Amino acid sequence: MLKLDIIFKRIFGNENNEDVISAFLSDLLEIPRDSIKAVYINNVELTPEYFEQKFSRLDLKLNVDDRIVNIEMQVNREIDFNERTLYYWAKMYGDELKTGEEYGQLKQTICINIINFNQFDCKDYHSHFKVMENTRHEVLTNKFAIHFFELKKIKYARKNKRMEDWLNLINAETEGDLMDIQNSTEIPEVKKAIVMLRELNADEKIRQEAFYREKRIHDEATALNGARREGIEIGRAEGKAEGIAEGMAKGKAEGIAEGIAEGKAEGIAEGINEMIVKMRKMGMSEEQINKIINVE
């Protein structure tokens, strides 16, 4: 499964596969293939610690001619993902400027995020962000670019077949999926990547690594969902407790108000009765008493 980070990195993180990487970048970024003269990969090694990481993501940095390209594969949703990719972009962009160099020497920096979840409220699987003026839409600089490719939205897409062939390849989970892509694509490098993927799947050691890695990813998803459910339960319990407290406070306040009202009423009634007794002792008739207190 190419969606698995260690498999993706063995194909797209291997400098021997420069033709596949160049075709992949050309079709995803919609730039001319002949504009990519050379690809240099900075972090190709898969260390033992990499396989042990539970909460991890693929992070592949490439030097493509005068461009810096970061490819990130993210399977599980992550909080503040937009802010994190912006931070990554800014760090890569700034780190390229050496002491004494002019700002004009800064390279075009591109972040490619391939994500297995829906990040934006739209039907498009490809979102391309630039820096531009708000009303004129004038681009400030062409050195900024962040792309998102949402794999969950690709299945029924019919927008850009070359782009979709690559994304469907990443999304493929069965041999039947690979056969469908192989029979329909016109991109030789996609077919080559399918051959390499099958060879990796046939390697027992790599299959074991992939199994172990996939288990780690499932553990991550389970842990995140468990924490989310626990947070919801805590929120419900706190909300219920606050509701009870508010109800008791409201009931107490209403009780006090009713008590005051009843006390006033009882006090008035007692005062009237005492007046009637005194007037009777004074020898007044009932007719006279009723006229005085307006009681008929």
Q: Is the pLDDT of residue 150 over 50?
A: yes
User: By the 8 A CB rule, do 56 and 5 touch?
Assistant: yes
pLDDT tens track for 32-90? 888 888 888 875 444 444 445 444 455 677 888 788 898 988 888 888 999 999 999 99
Residue 188: CB atoms within 10 A of its CB come to 11
- In a domain, residue 156? The reply is yes
How many angstroms separate the CA atoms of 107 and 238, rounded?
A: 51
Is residue 157 one of the residues assigned to a domain? Answer: yes
Domain total in the chain:
2
pLDDT of residue 109: 93
Same domain, 115 and 250: no
Q: Cα–Cα distances in Å, from 296 out to 59, 265, 286, 290? A: 93, 19, 10, 6
Distance CA 237, CA 235 (A): 5
Answer yes or no: do 258 and 189 share one domain. Answer: no
Structural domain containing residue 178: 5-202
| One domain for residues 89 and 44 | yes
252 and 149, same structural domain?
A: no
**Which pLDDT score is estimated for 87?**
94
Entry pTM: 0.68
Average pLDDT, the chain: 81
Is 211 within the bounds of a domain? Answer: no
Question: For residue 140, what are the contacts with CB-CB under 8 A and spacing of at least 6?
Answer: 131, 132, 133
Based on the fold, state whether residues 72 and 138 are members of the same structural domain: yes
Residue 296 lies in a domain: no
Phi, psi of 68 (to 5 degrees): -105, 125
